């Protein structure tokens, strides 16, 4: 950090890395995270006004106290400082622009684009391949190599240009031998002092080439391996020795490794040079090397050589993004980005090229989502529902508690939507126990008091039954009928419900997938509420909406979705968050235990039952699997009942039981006839027993963090202190670190962010129908800043011209990406 300008990059990176590691006050090479931040904020830049300097001094003090804060307090501090820095950086950059006379508003980040751009081979336009030319027609590739490349789905020059590397290895840094450090990838240029060739004594089909290399600073021994009987012949060995004679100059690149003899390069790439300053012709040595996804029969150099053949065609690419937009967001031109993503000059050029191409992936998705949202808002045929009325007033009167400010804010969002003829399409996110059902009930009552019907669909019978019980207790006081329709509903009752829906006598129907059956017909459906919406497929959600004429749609989830994931999967929805728990909720004491600590867990369970409390024991499987060494629910139930807790009643609940059996198990537990309920994840949502105070989760490492947080939410619903015990026998440090997040935090939004970092977005939502776009380069974990910029840019583009008629190249690119490449499957 200089004394004139803040070092934004180091500050943002330090805060980001600390957040990624769970706010543990990381130890760096020189300082702890807290020490670095305290020192940094203590030396405020002179460009800052006095008020900001005082703010920096305050933050220096806060970070000096960082090691003594609780995890939640650390998290809040880091989040606040990150927001503050982004805002301050934006203001400083806008100020600098005004001083330079640049009239450009809303600039967030300007990337430095190098003057030196890519290695596009110098060839005449006459010889350059055409962008849509078939690879088999290029003489440098030919039919045989083209057939191999076709196995990767590469048929044209365009396919090759947009076949991005999955990774890069940086051999561009050339160092002296004395400067080698284990773990780095480097290139050295040195003289051959000795050359040996011999067959491995342990493997007669393995030839080892051993070179002793020396430069002006030191010497190093390197070895290269050749597997195959043809390499062990005397003729091949002699040819290798002639290739690397003593006194020749060799360029070598590879990963520096330490062995018992010192440092070496791991199986390095080698090239003989005419002299020390000679240019290196290799596609790997001395370069940032692209690593491509391959398949059987296709080797790396085949793809690299083909890409080099295709690169001159990049000059023919017309950039679909207007120049003004590129300059505003600091984006490299497309042809330069394509060249630099394959063969960059250096790591900076690679970073800036990748940023442009990641922006494109996010930008076209966001444009598509916003177009979809715009189209939905053009529909003006939905029911206009009254936000004021006797039913809602009476409901407020019978509620035994006050709504939180977060609930009230979300209710206002919903009621504002319901007053419009444009159909509402809102997602409500709320942590476990935040009170989403109450919010949904007010929306339902707005529909009913306006003369319309409502439907509430849940993914499981357990959850649908839970909603029904809660709604009946309220609706009886309001003198309103409500019915439950599931797969278990008897035929006679089913017919009665169908009839009452068609006549309009039944204002609210709660149910599972049974609601979307053909025989279910509403007289006047005005509102659809879908709980745990990510558990339904697109068609299932759409079929329920089709039961009415453009009904308003309210979707809910108790699995908080990270911001980046919400933007990519639900970017066409309006999102509200209930980010506040009702007052009086106690923190659930969460502890990670090993198998040796099981007796302590059982002691705690006995003490809680002795005080009249109840226990959940959750397992990942129903019956024992031969492939996985995991306890089964059935086996655990029998063991606990017969051996561990014979004095108590133990119940069993899992997904393979009939509906009647499930109801019986839940009702017995709810009525405290059973003190311990052994269950699979069927209790994840919907089972509400305030008397339960202990949740023991076996094989906790088999669950995602968000799912564990959901399970934990089954306890802590009453006034008594509750406990969550995570039983895990794994010694895997990554799994241990992941589970410790649950020990440290009760914040579902933070936990979902960490879950996405550990497991990836598809796993967080559930891969079966998650709808996470398949990005080639972009990462929802690493590229949040670029996603937010792409969303901002897409909003401005849609605001100016939602049809994209002003930008025909952009419109064509959007069509190409999300109709041809993704078959039109933009979202689920």
Report yes or no on whether pTM surpasses 0.75. Answer: no
What pLDDT score does 430 carry? Answer: 82
What pLDDT score does 59 carry? Answer: 84
Beta bridge partners of 134: 156
Gap between the Cα atoms of 764 and 759, Å rounded:
7
% of the chain surpassing 70 pLDDT: 86
180 CB-side CA count, 13 A: 29
User: Quick check: 587 and 746 in contact, CB under 8 A?
Assistant: yes
User: Quick check: 545 and 569 in contact, CB under 8 A?
Assistant: no
Sort 509 into a burial class: Cβ within 10 Å, 0-12 / 13-18 / 19+.
buried
3-state SS class at 615: strand
* Structure tokens that stand for 137 in this block: 């027609």
- The predicted model gives 229-241 an average pLDDT of 82
* Structure tokens that stand for 382 in this block: 């939905």
What pLDDT score does 579 carry? Answer: 79
* Backbone φ and ψ of 351, nearest 5°: -60, -45
Which helix H or strand E contains 99, and what residues bound it? Answer: helix 71-99
What pLDDT score does 408 carry? Answer: 93
What pLDDT score does 287 carry? Answer: 75
Gap between the Cα atoms of 403 and 418, Å rounded:
20
State yes or no: pLDDT of 482 exceeds 90: yes
The percent of the chain in helix, strand and coil, each rounded to the nearest 5, is 45, 15, 40
DSSP letters along 188-226, please? EEEEEEEEEEEE-TT-TTEEEEEEEEE-SS-EEEEEEEE
DSSP state of 726: E
Q: C-alpha 362: how far from its chain's center?
A: 14
Cα dist from 539 to 142, 170, 523, whole Å? 46, 46, 22
Cα dihedral 673, 675, 679, 681 in deg (nearest 10):
100
State yes or no: pLDDT of 417 exceeds 70: yes
Spatial neighbors of 804 by CB under 8 A, at least 6 apart, are 367, 797, 810, 811, 814
What pLDDT score does 340 carry? Answer: 92
State yes or no: pLDDT of 825 exceeds 50: no
What pLDDT score does 584 carry? Answer: 66
What pLDDT score does 107 carry? Answer: 36
How confident is the prediction for the chain on average, in pLDDT? 83
State yes or no: pLDDT of 71 exceeds 70: yes
What stretches of 1-49 show up as alpha helix (H) in DSSP? Answer: 8-20, 33-42
Residue-range domains of the chain with CATH: 8-99 (no CATH), 173-286 (2.40.50.140), 390-578 (3.40.50.300), 589-745 (3.40.50.300)
- The predicted model gives 361-381 an average pLDDT of 84
Residue range 111-138, pLDDT digits in tens: 333 333 444 544 444 467 898 899 999 9
User: Quick check: 684 and 709 in contact, CB under 8 A?
Assistant: no
State yes or no: pLDDT of 559 exceeds 80: no
- Band of the pLDDT at 46, cuts 50, 70, 90? low
What pLDDT score does 620 carry? Answer: 80
Q: C-alpha 717: how far from its chain's center?
A: 30
Residue range 74-110, pLDDT digits in tens: 888 888 888 788 778 777 766 665 555 443 333 333 3
Residue range 522-545, pLDDT digits in tens: 999 999 999 876 666 666 777 888
User: Quick check: 615 and 609 in contact, CB under 8 A?
Assistant: yes
441 CB-side CA count, 13 A: 25
- The predicted model gives 236-259 an average pLDDT of 87
What pLDDT score does 56 carry? Answer: 82
Residue range 670-721, pLDDT digits in tens: 899 999 999 887 765 657 788 999 999 998 988 888 888 888 888 888 788 9
Spatial neighbors of 163 by CB under 8 A, at least 6 apart, are 152, 154, 292, 303, 307
Neighbours of 383 (CB within 10 A): 20
């Amino acid at each position: 950090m200089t004394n004139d300008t803040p070092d934004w990059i180091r500050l943002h990176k330090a805060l980001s890395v600390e957040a990624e590691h769970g706010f543990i006050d990381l130890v760096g090479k020189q300082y702890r995270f807290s020490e670095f931040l305290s020192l940094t904020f203590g030396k405020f830049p002179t460009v800052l006004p006095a008020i900001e300097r005082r703010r920096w001094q305050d933050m220096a003090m806060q970070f000096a106290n960082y090691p003594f804060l609780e995890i939640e307090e650390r998290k809040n501090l880091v989040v606040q400082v990150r927001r503050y820095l982004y805002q301050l950086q934006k203001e400083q950059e806008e100020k600098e622009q005004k001083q330079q006379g640049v009239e450009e508003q809303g600039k967030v980040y300007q990337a430095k684009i190098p003057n030196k751009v890519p290695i596009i081979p110098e060839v005449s336009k006459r010889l350059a391949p055409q962008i849509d030319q078939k690879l088999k027609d290029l003489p440098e590739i030919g039919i045989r190599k083209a057939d191999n490349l076709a196995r990767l789905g590469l048929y044209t020059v365009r396919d090759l240009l947009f076949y991005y590397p999955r990774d890069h290895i940086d051999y561009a840094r050339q160092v002296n031998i004395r400067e080698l450090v284990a773990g780095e990838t480097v290139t050295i240029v040195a003289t051959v002092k000795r050359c040996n060739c011999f067959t491995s004594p342990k493997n007669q089909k393995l030839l080892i080439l051993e070179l002793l290399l020396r430069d002006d600073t030191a010497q190093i021994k390197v070895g290269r391996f050749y597997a195959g009987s043809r390499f062990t012949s005397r003729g091949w060995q002699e040819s290798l020795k002639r290739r690397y004679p003593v006194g020749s100059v060799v360029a070598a690149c590879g990963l520096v490794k330490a062995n018992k003899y010192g440092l070496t390069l791991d199986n390095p790439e080698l090239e003989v040079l005419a002299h020390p300053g000679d240019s290196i012709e290799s596609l790997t040595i001395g370069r940032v090397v692209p690593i491509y996804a391959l398949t059987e029969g296709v080797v790396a150099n085949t793809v690299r050589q083909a890409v080099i053949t295709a690169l001159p065609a990049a000059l023919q690419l017309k950039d679909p993004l207007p120049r003004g937009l590129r300059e505003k967001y600091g984006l490299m031109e497309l042809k330069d980005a394509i060249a630099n993503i394959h063969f960059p000059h250096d790591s900076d050029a690679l970073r800036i090229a990748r940023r442009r191409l990641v922006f494109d992936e996010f930008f076209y998705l966001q444009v598509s989502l916003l177009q979809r949202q715009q189209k939905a808002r053009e529909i003006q045929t939905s029911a206009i529902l009254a936000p004021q009325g006797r039913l809602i007033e009476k409901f407020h009167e019978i509620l035994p508690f006050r709504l939180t400010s977060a609930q009230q804010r979300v209710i206002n969002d919903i009621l504002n939507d319901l007053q419009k003829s444009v159909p509402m399409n809102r997602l409500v996110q709320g942590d476990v126990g935040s009170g989403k059902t109450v919010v949904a009930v007010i929306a339902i009552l707005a529909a009913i008091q306006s003369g319309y019907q409502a439907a509430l669909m849940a993914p499981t019978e357990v959850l649908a039954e839970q909603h029904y019980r809660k709604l009946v207790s309220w609706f009886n006081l309001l003198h309103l009928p409500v019915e439950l329709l599931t797969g278990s509903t008897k035929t006679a009752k089913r017919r009665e419900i169908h009839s009452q829906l068609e006549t309009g006598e039944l204002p609210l129907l709660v149910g599972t997938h049974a609601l979307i059956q053909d025989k279910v017909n509403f007289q006047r459906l005005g509102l659809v509420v879908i709980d745990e919406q990510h558990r339904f497929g697109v068609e299932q959600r759409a079929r329920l909406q089709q039961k009415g004429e453009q009904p308003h749609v309210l979707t809910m989830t108790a699995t908080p979705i990270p911001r980046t994931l919400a933007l990519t999967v639900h970017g066409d929805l309006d999102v509200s968050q209930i980010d506040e728990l009702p007052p009086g909720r106690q923190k659930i004491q969460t502890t990670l235990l090993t198998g040796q600590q099981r007796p302590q867990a059982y002691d705690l369970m006995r003490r809680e039952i002795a005080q009249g409390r109840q226990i959940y024991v959750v397992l990942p499987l129903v019956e024992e699997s031969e492939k996985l060494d995991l306890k089964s629910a059935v086996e655990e139930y029998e063991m606990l009942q017969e051996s561990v807790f014979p004095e108590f009643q133990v119940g069993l609940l899992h997904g393979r039981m009939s509906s009647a059996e499930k109801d019986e198990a839940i009702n017995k537990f709810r009525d405290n006839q059973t003190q311990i309920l052994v269950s699979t994840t069927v209790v994840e949502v919907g089972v509400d027993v305030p008397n339960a105070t202990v949740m023991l989760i076996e094989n906790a490492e088999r669950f995602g963090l968000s799912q564990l947080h959901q399970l934990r939410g089954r306890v802590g619903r009453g006034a008594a202190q509750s406990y969550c015990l995570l039983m895990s026998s794994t010694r895997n440090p990554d799994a241990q670190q992941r589970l410790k997040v649950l020990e440290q935090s009760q914040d579902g939004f933070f936990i979902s962010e960490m879950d996405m970092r550990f497991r990836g977005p598809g796993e967080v939502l559930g891969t079966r129908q998650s709808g996470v776009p398949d990005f080639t380069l972009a990462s929802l974990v690493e590229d949040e800043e670029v996603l937010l910029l792409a969303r901002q840019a897409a909003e401005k583009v849609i605001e100016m011209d939602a049809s994209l008629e002003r930008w025909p190249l952009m419109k064509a690119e959007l069509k190409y990406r999300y109709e041809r490449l993704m078959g039109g499957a933009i979202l689920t």
